[in-house]
């Protein structure tokens, strides 16, 4: 692909990005000026039957989604010289990855982000699709007139129809692939087998995004291999937020529930996850009682923040140190006094 080439009446203007299998270009209609994103397969990827099937599946699945929170498909064409092309809505704004590369988000910003992402996830799940690759680089932040931003989901290349659904045959296209996705945002069951991913796997990914957004770090470290091993045996630890108010503690509880190792311990749906975040937004005093019924969650309001935990640890270390010092002095005196009394 090169600038100036024509695709379905549109003219390619500039490259927007490239991945392992494809490239994305901006294209404009010469008469109306309407802009689109054109996704194509790289030559070596186009030679792979599995990748081609996945590309066709992406188009088929996107046609089922009608949501302002998901990039809209315009057309799927086969060009004699350029091959298969996916014409999609060009979402204005910047990617969440670019935003998070500059700074972390506040608790309130993370809550708004989560609600916005989950609106799209809920729409996708409603039509029986599991995305399987929700991550910051696959989320665009579309500016709204009031200055806020709407999260828009992109890239359904790894998406699959829910097993047992009307289009279950689409879910068998990548059976040869054991692991698909990005480790830092993948649920443990998806690491073991991509075909074990369910709607709750997508919710895990959203939780991982919110964790990174407020902490600026991944809960299991930056090395993917080590993070994958830890995910299979551990739940993430406390977020160690600097804030100690009810809303910050509530957000921690919500994120940790979304990222529980066992799928059954996570939120049951995107709507439930969203409701928990919306409760935080409405009433910071009672949110912990609303996000779930398990004892671990309802006790969230009494949990210590990271700062208090560090202060408590420091206090007890000082206490232990004092008693150790006293013990050393007593031992020394016991050795010296008998000699002094002779």
| Alpha-helical segments (H) within the chain | 43-46, 49-62, 96-102, 107-126, 188-192, 199-215, 224-231, 246-258, 270-282, 287-290, 295-298, 306-341
The total of other beta-carbon atoms located within 10 Å of residue 165's CB is: 14
Please give the positions annotated as active site. 133
Residue 143 main-chain phi, psi, to 5 deg: -70, 140
Q: Cβ(298)–Cβ(260) under 8 Å?
A: no
Residue 209 has which token pair? 């995004």
**Among candidate residues 202, 103, 134, 135, the one with its CA nearest the CA of residue 162:** 202
Q: Cβ(153)–Cβ(177) under 8 Å?
A: no
Residue 259 main-chain phi, psi, to 5 deg: -105, 20
């Amino acid at each position: 692909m090169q600038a100036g080439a024509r695709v379905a009446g549109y003219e390619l203007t500039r490259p927007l990005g490239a991945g392992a299998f494809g490239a994305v270009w901006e294209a404009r209609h010469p008469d109306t000026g309407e802009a689109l994103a054109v996704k194509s397969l790289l030559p070596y990827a186009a030679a792979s039957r599995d990748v081609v099937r996945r590309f066709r599946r992406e188009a088929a699945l996107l046609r089922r989604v009608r949501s302002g929170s998901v990039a809209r498909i315009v057309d799927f064409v086969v060009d004699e010289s350029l091959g298969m092309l996916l014409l999609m809505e060009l979402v204005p704004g910047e990617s969440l990855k670019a935003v998070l590369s500059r700074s972390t988000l506040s608790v309130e910003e993370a809550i708004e982000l989560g609600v916005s992402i989950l609106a799209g996830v809920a729409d996708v799940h409603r039509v029986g699709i599991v995305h399987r690759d929700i991550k910051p680089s696959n989320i665009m932040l579309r500016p709204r007139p009031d200055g806020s931003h709407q999260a828009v989901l992109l890239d359904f290349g790894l998406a699959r129809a829910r097993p047992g659904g009307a289009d279950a045959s689409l879910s068998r296209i990548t059976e040869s692939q054991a692991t698909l996705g990005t480790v830092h945002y993948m649920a443990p069951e998806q690491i073991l087998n991509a075909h074990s991913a369910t709607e709750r796997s997508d919710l895990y990914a959203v939780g991982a995004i919110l964790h990174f957004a407020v902490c600026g770090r991944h809960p299991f470290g930056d090395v993917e291999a080590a993070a994958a091993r830890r995910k299979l045996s551990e739940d993430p630890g406390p977020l160690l937020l600097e804030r100690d108010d009810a809303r910050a503690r509530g957000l921690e509880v919500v994120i940790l529930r979304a990222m529980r190792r066992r799928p059954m311990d996570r939120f049951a749906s995107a709507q439930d996850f969203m409701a928990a975040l919306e409760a935080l937004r409405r009433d910071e005093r009672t949110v912990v009682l609303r996000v779930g019924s398990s004892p671990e969650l309802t006790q969230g309001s009494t949990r210590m923040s990271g700062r208090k935990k560090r202060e408590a640890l420091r206090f007890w270390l000082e206490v232990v140190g004092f008693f150790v010092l006293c013990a050393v002095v007593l031992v020394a005196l016991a050795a010296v006094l008998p000699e002094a009394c002779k």
